[in-house]
Structures are given as structure tokens and as C-alpha cells.
Amino acid sequence: MREIVFDTETTGLSPTDGHRLVEIGAIEMVNRVETGRTFHVYLNPERDMPGEAFAVHGLSEAFLSNKPLFADEAPGFLDFLEDSPLVAHNAQFDFGFVNAELERCGHGILTRERMVDTLAIARTKHPGAKHSLDALCSRYGVDRSQRVLHGALLDAQLLAQVYVELTGGRQIGLVLADDEAARVVAGAEADGAQRAPRRPRREPRPHRASAEELARHAAFVAGIDDPLWPAEPDKAG
């Protein structure tokens, strides 16, 4: 199954307040494994960058001033998404901004049926715990040492690893590997059984000591001075 894990950076908290997208990062996964295909773009928001937003992602108005508009990147972005399920952390936020931009340039919006919200999954799986991306990375041992500031592509890559853990983790791969290994072994055994040459049946070897071996052992024990074990009782009577 193909899925897209994505993240966005913005100028603020709500598109209804005039805030815009400034970065999109997306990761392609097939059967919960990253394929290496990504989509990443910085966008000119055509407005100023509030200090609160700059402190989060470090994308300045000057840096973004020569970047493409969302309208120019929308066709490539939609082509990358295809009709796959879309995974995001607090997906309502990202869907809201992407759909606002799509509507602004005359494209159809992303339907909520495609939305997979890892925040909702985390709240169900770990009630009462912290559910930020940083907290989930810590919980599942995902390395976030390169995450100094928020960045859409880096956050999407981290989220892809967290998503795998939230939905079964490495155990999914282990089960598949075990099943495959079992099939390989079973096939090899069956093939070996067909090709193994017939050998003549050999009678089992005797494992009881002979009378001569028992006599030698008794002589050896009798020659030990002051043994730790008691002498055996006389069996002759």
C-alpha cells in the first residue's frame, strides 16, 4: 500500500487569519517502508514573516522572497500525492493550510477521508502521555539529533519512522521476515528430502559399559585414597 507522510511550515496558526504555507515536505512509503522518493519545496508566502513563526522554523521573509508560489508548485505536489492516504501529525492543521492554498489557486481540495492523523493515533495508543513529535521520537527511540528547528522534510522523515512504530513497529517486518524464512526453510527441507539419497539402516550402537570396562573402573576407584564418597555396601550377600 502506498502512503504519503507529509509536514508543512507556515507563517502562523490559521489560514483564515491570512497565514500561508512556506514549506512542504513529503515522503513516499510503500507497505510502511520508505522508497526514497520525496517532495520538498520552499514557498513564497507573499506576506511578512511573524517573529513567532520565524522562531519555530527559521525561514525568513528574505530567504523566501525568491521562492516559487504555491500555485506554481501545486501540480507537481498533487502528482506526487496521487490518490494515496496522507499521514500527518495533527493532520487537521496541515490539511487546513494545504486546502486553503489549493482553493486559492483553483484546485480541488484534499478530502478528509484520505487523512491519517498520527496525533489521534498516539492519543489513543498512549493516553495521558505527551504526544508531540519530539515526545514520540523519544518514546520510540527515533534519532532527532539533527532537529534544531522545525523543517518540513526532516519532520516528515521523523514522522514516517514514528508512524511505523505507532502502527505495529518493526514487529511487522519481523513477522514478514519470519514467515518468509519459514517458507524458505520448508522449501529447502522439502527439496532436500526429495534429493537425499537413501542410506542403509544402521542398528543403534550399544551404550552400556562392557564387563571389562566395569572392571577397569572398579580398579581405578579402589586405588583412590580417602575418597569423598562412601564405600558401596557388599552386594555379594
Annotated binding site: 7, 9, 52, 57, 155
Crossing angle for the helix pair 133-140 and 152-166, to the nearest 10 degrees: 50
161: left (phi over 0), alpha (psi -120 to 50) or beta: alpha
Task: Give phi and psi for 9, each to the nearest 5.
Answer: -120, 150
150 is a catalytic site residue: yes
Please choose, from the candidates 72, 44, 80, the residue with its C-alpha nearest in 3D space to the C-alpha of residue 60: 44
* 102 CB neighbour count, 10 Å cutoff: 18
45, 20 contact by CB (below 8 A): yes
186, 194 contact by CB (below 8 A): no
8, 97 contact by CB (below 8 A): yes
97, 10 contact by CB (below 8 A): yes
Q: Which of 89, 150, 207, 217 is catalytic?
A: 150
Annotated binding site for substrate: 7, 9, 52, 57, 155
Annotated binding site for a divalent metal cation: 7, 9, 155
119, 89 contact by CB (below 8 A): yes
What positions carry a catalytic annotation? Answer: 150
